[in-house]
Structure 1
Amino acid sequence: MFQKARLRRFGIAGGALAVAAGFAVATAFAVAPAEAKPVKDNSAHTTTPIKHLVVIYGENVSFDHYFGTYPNAANTDGTKFTAAKNTPKVNGLTPALLNNNPNEYNPQRLTPAQAVTCDQNHNYKPEQAALNNGAMDQFVQNVSKDTCTGAFGEPGLAMDYYDGNTVTGMWNYAQNYTMSDNSWDATFGPSTPGALNLISGQTHGISSYDPTSGTTNPKKTATPDSYTVVDPDATTGVGTVINDPDPVYDDCADNNHTSSNALGGLSGKNVGDLLNEQGVTWGWFQGGFKPTTTAAASSTGYAICGSTHTNVAGGSSVDYSPHHNPFAYYKSTSNPHHLPPSSVDAIGHTDQANHQYDTSDFYAALNNGNLPAVSFVKAPEYQDGHAAYSDPLDEQTFDIDLINALQKSPEWKSTAVVISYDDSDGWYDHVAPKITNSSNSATNDTTICTTAATKGVPALGGYQDRCGPSQRLPLLVISPYTSANTVSHTLVSQPSILKFVEQNWKTGSIGGGSFDKTATSLSVLFNFSHPQNHGVLLDDKTGAVSKIIPINNTPTHPKPWTPSKGHGKGGKDDKGDKGHGGLFGWFTW
């Protein structure tokens, strides 16, 4: 999303729309959710002991950028890290890759003092070019951004990495729970495609909307908008999103509607729709979602999202980023005016907030004892980990505060926290992807994708511009139902989280070419047979382990977990990856 210079990143742009025009457009955009028929609350009806799933969705980190040298830290600065003797190895940066890398620069270790760095080029096509058809040797030429204002930069910056002296919290979670070294960004490109792949496994189906009238731009030829929609249908204008257009169903889009960029809206279903149909509570919680000026109090009729914070380097940014909210692209799951929940008890249920909340509402629900079954949590920008305006230290504070609060709650014994990311930011990762979904766009794809297409690799649903997977991303599962100090080597991707939700709450699937059809379920990272009987609290500033607390994780179910008859046993990849029983349909609770 770095490329969207046309949208303000560090403050509220000046100017305002005329009052009359503002109210007209607000009426066009502010579509209330349809009145839903009452559905029985099925939140507790799961196929595993996980009753609460919390997904912390961070920004822009490759696997090697955070875990390339795991579990070995330099211990020359920052927080000291010493790994347990039995720590399994990861597919990381070998001595050869560190000292004789095929790229123009060798990877260099970044210190805690260099936490805020320049943002790399992570567009759809440059990311493909960096991989150089699998040679993994063109990162510096295509994605490295070495100089910038107010952040650290150096030649070949895209090659660089942190270790356990900076991302200490992440490494300690890996020590005590389960991580993956084979988790992938489903497609190439920046934040919006990654966010959409999390909730629907689908980046096709986007239409361009005029920001003033709220009406669709019917054809690319009639109203050129190659940024919002790529390879659109000549008649309908519907195509694929590979960039970061703001969502149409959001008052705070386009810099609180002070800009004039086209907006994007998606057709089809997302996981929120599935959960609503099944009667399962859920919510998207994002920092800065609570408006600083409500729509009713605004002169334009739009809510204004203006809260800001500073990162560890003193840089300030607006907390809320509209294009980080994937549910706002769908009419059915949007809350255009950023209305608050009607009560704390209503959080997770369908009311005027329509499942879209501020992060403060997450803590309110947790403290009130009504944590939704499925929660997606997005930090405010300064804590989301994105280079240029955030950093791993601020990200660590946000993640640890939230996870500590969960571990101290009664819900922890049936909770799983997933830390995942939307894209790689273009940061170097040495593992070449095996393209499993091809694309042959003359404009947007390079040889790594087009060659796959010519060799018969399918494009799911027949849609172009969804080439992937692209690069490895960090993935951790923190739960009593994971094995401590375990590394899974089974290939998963962002839609694996979606598939976990679908199977655990028996929602059915998205369909329509969604990657949930081909994704491996996140179940491979759990161990439902032998839950841990403690929680591990970390210091939110240093990332060090501060306290081990006991938990009562005795299952409340009448029967212990057993795989159903007639199915094979879970696989065993290698040291650290035990398989844990195979696919979700095999569990009975």
Structure 2
Amino acid sequence: MDMRRISAALGAIVLVLAAAVAPAEAAHRRAGPLGPFTRLVVIYQENHSFDNMYAGWGRVGAQRVDGRGSPGYARRSTQVRQDGTPYRCLYQNDPSLATPPLAPTCGTDTASNGFSFASHFRNRPFSINDYVTPESPTCPGGTPGGCTRDLVHRFYQEQYQLDGGRMDRYSTGSDATGLTQGYYETRQLPIYQYLHAAGAPHYVIADRFFQAAFGGSFLNHQYLVAAQAPPWPGAPATAHSVIDAQGFPNPNPPAAGTGVRAYPLRTSDPALNDGPLTQACPGRPGYACGDYAVNTVQPASPPSAGGANTLPLVNNVDPAAPGYRRTIGDELSERNIGWAWYAGGWNDAAAGHPGPLFQYHHQPFNYFARYAPGYVDPRTGEHPRDHLRDETAFFAAAREGTLPAVSFVKPYGAENEHPGYASTDNGERHLVDLLDAVMTGPQADRTLIVVTYDEFGGQWDHVVPPGQGRHATPGPADEYGPGTRIPAVLISRSLRRSGVDHTSYDTTSILRTIEQQYGLAPLDTRFGRDARVNDLSPALRVGGIRHH
């Protein structure tokens, strides 16, 4: 028998089996920003600015994180009235900060609209932990966790708050007023303690990482998977936002019977409209306009809350039809690269009995036709919806060593850190569980984890985003963003050292990294954002990579 032929045949069989079992491993052999990493895990938390969470991180090696003590921190922290004059005090309407009333050490102050208030809080950042701790029973139902109230985080409101890079109208443009200036003690955060414990993996903190789009969770989840706002052709005219000369959209009338406005520090204008869509074109120059969904709307596919603000299915099936969009999932599937979106509570929600804190608008793929229930790919016979999985499947895959090449992880509402219905402490303890599942699994050495947040949650930050005036951070910008700086940290057991990366990024840098790694086309067909942002390779150079 010819042993060379037998050997060649066996080799061919091994190659076929390897390609079938681990196509991502083969795909990763091309040069790309991820280097030797064969798995990327993106954990997407909720609603905190960088300064709100990480301002007290301090030094990492020879570098210092840009937070408290940085030159711009105090200079840009002073909040101003609607007329541009600075407050002496910060008004507070969070129950934990306003009741029982604290001694009015600032005396009485007045907003531009004549609203007067006594305040304990001077016009500067303050520690939330001085008033609300993880033991405080301030979460829904009076449970512990240290929840604060929610803060407005919407498309045009954030642009008003940024004030062209002055970063000084967060409080005036907020329904939570002075809470915007609160911060958590960084070194008490579970993630900080986890990363600084004995035997912890190395990390790189990115202190110039911005949310891709202005506003809230819905739009920034869309940017995470598709790099642009979804269209809503034929939307009702009443769905369009109407903004004033300062770009503010809310009519802000006093609530019936109370005389209290939703935004206590701003005047009222009944001609405005705070809608789910951009302003109609032509609109006020310098602001996005058209039939694009930018504030929370519901998916047409179940699970969904339904209602009038339900976005028709986004077309990612027929390139010849109007409104065609692609997602990163489509691109990965086309190259036979494994991926999944893991969401806490998904199985229950998809079965028709969602948990009380399951957030429909946090499931971005569910807005696209390709991921609707029952859709079958005509070329492959596959069900693309199978890529949408429960978070329990992520824990199992991490434990068993079967994570796909790209994993997105979206925790359930009670564990995602969203102010109002979740707490930072509870959410970060769950985050540590996610990190530990990967770090103790068989794929740890080849896996890079990116932990970041969807958006700022209405909370102040001092670093000026790209496109916001003469002090702006360098980087691509357009009329959709980027917005406020958000926390971002890269973690792996294969990093040689911990460090700080000052490179300018936004959420679409994650897409850019995936696209560059696998040779995929950019997704943003309007402004080319994901073609112009930096990928994450500079952060890996900061951390170094231990080759195996």
The 5-angstrom pairing of residues 396-407 of structure 1 reads 396-407=428-439
Residue aligning to 1:516: 530
Residue aligning to 1:525: 539
Distance 1:95 1:523 in 2: 25
Residue aligning to 1:239: 291
Q: Is the Cα–Cα contact under 8 Å of residues 497 and 543 in structure 2 kept in the other structure?
A: no
Distance 2:451 2:490 in 1: 7
Distance 2:522 2:489 in 1: 24
Shift of 1:475: 0.4
Residue aligning to 1:229: 277
Distance 1:145 1:528 in 2: 38
Q: Is the Cα–Cα contact under 8 Å of residues 416 and 477 in structure 1 kept in the other structure?
A: yes
Whichever residue aligns with residue 93 of structure 1, its letter is R
Query: Is 2:164 the counterpart of 1:188?
Result: no
Query: Is 2:145 the counterpart of 1:131?
Result: no
Distance 1:108 1:55 in 2: 30
The 5-angstrom pairing of residues 27-66 of structure 1 reads 42-44=23-25, 45-46=27-28, 47=31, 48-66=35-53
Q: Is the Cα–Cα contact under 8 Å of residues 60 and 421 in structure 1 kept in the other structure?
A: yes
- Seen in structure 2, the aligned counterparts of structure 1 residues 528 and 186 have a Cα distance that, compared at 3 Å, is closer
Query: Is 2:487 the counterpart of 1:500?
Result: no
The 5-angstrom pairing of residues 88-99 of structure 1 reads 88-94=63-69, 97=73
Q: Is the Cα–Cα contact under 8 Å of residues 481 and 528 in structure 1 kept in the other structure?
A: no
Residue aligning to 1:271: 328
1:475 to 477, 485, 488: 488
2:413 to 366, 378, 381: 381
Residue aligning to 1:251: 302
TM-score (norm 2): 0.68
The 5-angstrom pairing of residues 108-147 of structure 1 reads 108-111=126-129, 112-113=133-134, 115-143=146-174, 145=176
Q: Is the Cα–Cα contact under 8 Å of residues 57 and 420 in structure 1 kept in the other structure?
A: yes
Gaps of 5+ in 1: 1-37, 72-82, 147-155, 209-217, 295-303, 308-317, 340-348, 437-447, 533-553, 556-589
Identity of aligned residues (%): 25
Q: Is the Cα–Cα contact under 8 Å of residues 57 and 422 in structure 1 kept in the other structure?
A: yes
SS in 2 for 1:290: helix
SS in 2 for 1:142: coil
- Seen in structure 2, the aligned counterparts of structure 1 residues 119 and 489 have a Cα distance that, compared at 3 Å, is same
- Seen in structure 2, the aligned counterparts of structure 1 residues 364 and 143 have a Cα distance that, compared at 3 Å, is same
Q: Is the Cα–Cα contact under 8 Å of residues 61 and 474 in structure 1 kept in the other structure?
A: yes
Q: Is the Cα–Cα contact under 8 Å of residues 335 and 356 in structure 1 kept in the other structure?
A: no
Residue aligning to 2:360: 322
Instruction: Say which is worse superposed, 88-97 or 276-285, in terms of deviation.
Output: 88-97
TM-score (norm 1): 0.63
Distance 1:101 1:497 in 2: 29
Distance 2:174 2:541 in 1: 38
2:55 to 64, 68, 73: 68
SS in 1 for 2:167: coil
Determine which structure has more spread, i.e. the larger CA radius of gyration.
Answer: 2
Task: Write out per-residue CA displacement over residues 231-283 of structure 1, whole angstroms, 9 at most, x where no aligned residue.
Answer: 4689xx972222011112x31211xx4x4433353331010010011100101
Q: Is the Cα–Cα contact under 8 Å of residues 57 and 419 in structure 1 kept in the other structure?
A: yes
1:286 to 336, 343, 350: 343
Whichever residue aligns with residue 109 of structure 1, its letter is S
Residue aligning to 2:232: 207
- Seen in structure 2, the aligned counterparts of structure 1 residues 116 and 528 have a Cα distance that, compared at 3 Å, is closer
RMSD, aligned α-carbons = 3.4
- Seen in structure 2, the aligned counterparts of structure 1 residues 476 and 224 have a Cα distance that, compared at 3 Å, is closer
Query: Is 2:393 the counterpart of 1:361?
Result: yes
- Seen in structure 2, the aligned counterparts of structure 1 residues 100 and 124 have a Cα distance that, compared at 3 Å, is closer
Shift of 1:426: 1.4
- Seen in structure 2, the aligned counterparts of structure 1 residues 191 and 49 have a Cα distance that, compared at 3 Å, is same
Whichever residue aligns with residue 472 of structure 1, its letter is R
Distance 1:526 1:95 in 2: 24
The 5-angstrom pairing of residues 359-508 of structure 1 reads 359-435=391-467, 465-466=479-480, 468-508=481-521
Distance 2:192 2:373 in 1: 34
- Seen in structure 2, the aligned counterparts of structure 1 residues 429 and 368 have a Cα distance that, compared at 3 Å, is same
Whichever residue aligns with residue 191 of structure 2, its letter is G
Task: Write out per-residue CA displacement over residues 208-249 of structure 1, whole angstroms, 9 at most, x where no aligned residue.
Answer: 6xxxxxxxxx3545x756534324689xx972222011112x
Shift of 1:352: 6.5
Shift of 1:39: 9.6
Distance 1:264 1:167 in 2: 40
Distance 2:67 2:542 in 1: 28
Q: Is the Cα–Cα contact under 8 Å of residues 343 and 409 in structure 2 kept in the other structure?
A: yes
Distance 1:272 1:496 in 2: 16
Task: Write out per-residue CA displacement over residues 416-451 of structure 1, whole angstroms, 9 at most, x where no aligned residue.
Answer: 110011110111101222318xxxxxxxxxxx79xx
Whichever residue aligns with residue 183 of structure 2, its letter is Y
Q: Is the Cα–Cα contact under 8 Å of residues 421 and 474 in structure 1 kept in the other structure?
A: yes
